[in-house]
Amino acid sequence: MSELKSVRQAFGRGLTLAAEKQPSIVALVPDLTNSIGFGEFAEKFPERFIQTGIAEQNIVCVASGLAHVGKTPFMGAYAAFSPGRNWEQIRTTICINDQPVKIIGSHAGLTVGPDGETHQALEDIALMRVLPNMSVFAPADAVEAEQMALVLARYNHPAYVRYPRADMPLVFDNLYKFEIGKSYRIRDGRDVVIFTTGTMLAAVLEAAELLKLKKIDAAVVHFPTIKPLDEKSIVKYARKFSRVITVEEHQIAGGFGSAVAEVLSADQPTIQLRIGVNDQFGQSAAPDELLDFYGLTAPKIAKKIKTWYNV
Amino acid sequence: MTTISQIEKHALNIRRNLLKMIHIAGSGHPAGALGAADIMAALYLEIMNYNPKKPHDENRDILALSNGHIVPAQYAALAEIGAIAVSELWTLRQLGSRLQGHPVRTLLPFMEITSGPLGSGLSEAAGMALGIKMNGARRFVYVIVGDGELDEGNIWEGAMFTNKYALSNLIVFVMRNNIQLDGDTEDIMPLEPLSDKWRSFGWDVSEIDGHNIKSIIEAAERARAIDNQPSVIIAHTIPGKGVSFMEGDYRWHGKTPDAQELKKALEELK
């Protein structure tokens, strides 16, 4: 496996780099500065760093107000609580207002690990993608996360970024260039296509290698932007492969796979296997144990795909 | 300089127009809006610094209306200052209208926040006041909140935050009319001792008669002079103020006047 690197720290690095060039950038946290990767920014720009205490409703409203007077706020918290606890304030003060606030949902997914189901956000993609004006992003690794911060700093609308507590294997090199709304074909294949987002990319690539041993040649396409979704590519791949698979560290209801299904059902009806968490909460355990238990490791993903493919 | 009697005349127009608007729309919240007419008139015609022709001027003072259901009073005030045409008022709550049932920031000049879901306006205004302070500008952010709205935890999160950052450029008017949808505030969820609550959160507190234009202006002047803490002005108001059969009756919180009631009300508002 390739080198593991902190996605949180990388996003925070990108935020700091963006802030060096863009004086309008401010960052807000509810008592989670280092935990979500904002420590570097806080140290470098103390006068642009806003500590709100543990108050998720207040923090997004404050961010909206800052945007109203010309600031570019990056507001970070744990995804389970923001957007978990403050969805209505995000809807009213950021989305209806179309304010350029970036909401960062750190510690998203099962890989929060031992903290347990209360802290494992598996519904945040669903919550955010239904909001008009809101865009939704999930980086796969540190390289992508850093670039995402830089690109979103110049994006003049609401955005939600989910990333994990756990370090992720590096998939991209420094030639990679993140663009909003674009999907990336990471692996070619002839038999079937796997669409994935965020933290699942590395496991999906490994699963594709395992499938190859079983004579299934899978293409892998990564979607760092969940909304606006790269619909053209989805339809194009569906036409080519006639069967698609989606993999995400999120509930299969309402998440990335659902978004893909919405596109396909309208434009290219295609049989789809949705892999994710199936209408369950998480629980306390080590991240790897959890991914295995919920069927999101490379062997489990490969097994599920093989069974489905051979039916 | 607008005289007190001129401002009172504008307040009267605001009351008349908001009742007509709600009547035409067929729904709305007359009692709270009538109660806010004097504060709206004082803010737009005397207290706030802005150019009615330049709603996006970067030096303008800001009014954030947090209890969005009383927005007909704000729309009517915007007509008084010529920011929108009086004729547009009659489109309230209709398909395609800029005058939404609750305020939407992006649709109209001088609408600074989107509100209606209660409790978020103070925090939003605090963000504005902090941003202004970071920019080193001298601008004031005025916030109107309802008293029933103070049931929301979000308000007290905002109150702590505003105190922490010593946002002395933020001034809150609490519309203390003692009613909310289901009845009296002290029955639904007791707020008293309300002044002590704000004081203990680090705010400067004053209490005024929210229908006395001179008191409203003086309280705002006093609040602007305080430079190390935020200010709250608890404005005692009468729901339905100016219309005898609506005054103090919580049932008019969300009830629409019919043609006869409107006629009777307009006769009183002369």
All structural domains of chain A with their residue ranges: 4-169, 184-305
Inter-chain CB proximity A58 and B154 less than 8 Å: yes
**A63 touching B, CB under 8 A?**
yes
Q: Give the nearest chain B residue to A52 (CA atoms).
A: B161
In degrees to the nearest 10, what's the CA dihedral of B84, B90, B94, B100? Answer: 40
End-to-end Cα, chain B, rounded Å = 24
Distance between CA A169 and CA A246 in Å, rounded? 20
Report the residue of chain B nearest A93, measured CA to CA.
B114
Q: For residue A72, give every residue at least 6 positions away whose Cβ sits within 8 Å of its Cβ, in sequence order, or none.
A: A22, A24, A25, A26, A100, A102, A153
Which of A66, A69, A101, A133 has the highest number of chain B CBs within 10 A, making it the mutation to test binding with B? A69
Q: Is A209 on the interface with B (CB under 8 A)?
A: no
We find that the CATH architecture of domain A4-169 is 3-Layer(aba) Sandwich (3.40)
| CATH H superfamily, domain B4-268 | Thiamin diphosphate (ThDP)-binding fold, Pyr/PP domains (3.40.50.970)
Strands A184-187 and A49-51: unpaired
Sorted by where each begins, the domain ranges of chain B are 4-268
What band does A116 get if pLDDT is binned at 50, 70 and 90? very high
Segments in B165-208 forming alpha helices (H) = 185-188, 194-200
pTM of the model: 0.96
| Host H or E run for residue A56 | helix A56-68
From A62, A68, A97, residue closest to B123, measured CB to CB: A62
C-alpha to C-alpha distance for A62 and B158, rounded to whole angstroms: 8
Among chain B residues, the shortest Cα distance to A59 is held by B123
Task: Give the pLDDT band of residue A311 (cuts 50, 70, 90).
Answer: confident
Nearest CA in chain A to B66: A93
Task: List CB contacts (< 8 A) between B104 and chain A.
Answer: 96
pLDDT digits (tens, 9 = 90+) for A6-60: 999 999 999 999 999 999 999 999 999 999 999 999 999 999 999 999 999 999 9
Which residue in A28, A50, A51, A58 has the most chain B C-beta atoms within 10 A of its own C-beta, making it the best mutation to test that interface?
Answer: A58
- Contact in structure between B92 and B99 (CB atoms under 8 Å): yes
Instruction: Tell me, yes or no, if A116 comes closer than 8 A to chain B by beta carbon.
Output: no
Nearest CA in chain B to A72: B131
Q: Tens digit of pLDDT for each residue in B18-31?
A: 999 999 999 999 99
Q: What is the mean pLDDT of chain B?
A: 96
Q: What is the pLDDT tens value at each position of chain B, 270 positions in all?
A: 789 999 999 999 999 999 999 999 999 999 999 999 999 999 999 999 999 999 999 999 999 999 999 999 999 999 999 999 999 999 999 999 999 999 999 999 999 999 999 999 999 999 999 999 999 999 999 999 999 999 999 999 999 999 999 999 999 999 999 988 888 999 999 999 999 999 999 999 999 999 999 999 999 999 999 999 999 999 999 999 999 999 988 889 889 999 999 999 999 999
Q: Inter-chain contact A57–B126, Cβ cutoff 8 Å? A: no
Which residues from chain A sit within 8 angstroms of residue B157, using beta carbons? 52-53, 55, 57-58
pLDDT tens digit sequence for B48-64: 999 999 999 999 999 99
- CA gap B37, A10 in Å, rounded: 52
CATH of domain A184-305: 3.40.50.920
The angle at the Cα of A256, spanning A227 to A32, to the nearest 5 degrees, equals 75
Q: Does A65 touch chain B (CB under 8 A)?
A: yes
- Asked if A93 lies within 8 A of B113 by C-beta distance, the reply is yes
Q: What is the pLDDT of residue A1?
A: 57
